[in-house]
Amino acid sequence: MNRAEILEKIGTILNSVLGHSNFELNEELTAKDADGWDSLTHMIIITEIESAFGVKFKLKDLNKLQNMGNLIDLVSGKLSEK
């Protein structure tokens, strides 16, 4: 799965959890840029991503995330371990 495909799949999850797509889906996207992406929805977004890709993130890695690009790196790394 390439980066664009991972981004698209995460985008679908964001639309579903946040209930809208009023944000620019790109590698620079941060939680601050998407309405409703707060500490509560963040929990469910991460667990939904883990479930959709069949991976489990390490807490240390989650805490380093700064933007969507980092999240794609994380998913991509986990998928390559499979």
Partner 1 sequence: MNYSIRRARLSDIPFLAKTVMEAEKSATDKFSFSTLFNKSEAEALELIAAMFDEEVDGCELSVSSFLVIEFEGKPVAAFSGWIEQFEGESNSGLLKSNLIGYTFGRESLSFLMTKAHLVKDIQIEREANTLQIEYLFVAPEHRGKSLAHQLISKHIEEAIKQFPSIKKVQVQVFKNNLAAQKVYENCGFSIVKSAKSNDTEILDYLPSDEKYLMEKELN
Q: Which residue, 4 or 20, is less far from partner 1 as judged by CB?
A: 20
CB nearer partner 1, residue 44 or residue 79: 44
Q: Nearest-5° angle of CA 34, CA 70, CA 1?
A: 100
Residues 15-54 that bind partner 1 (CB under 8 A): 31, 38-44, 46-47, 51
Count, residues in the chain:
82
Q: In this complex, which beta carbon is closest to partner 1, that of residue 25 or of residue 65?
A: 65
Binding residues vs partner 1 (CB under 8 A): 31, 38-44, 46-47, 51, 57, 59, 62-63
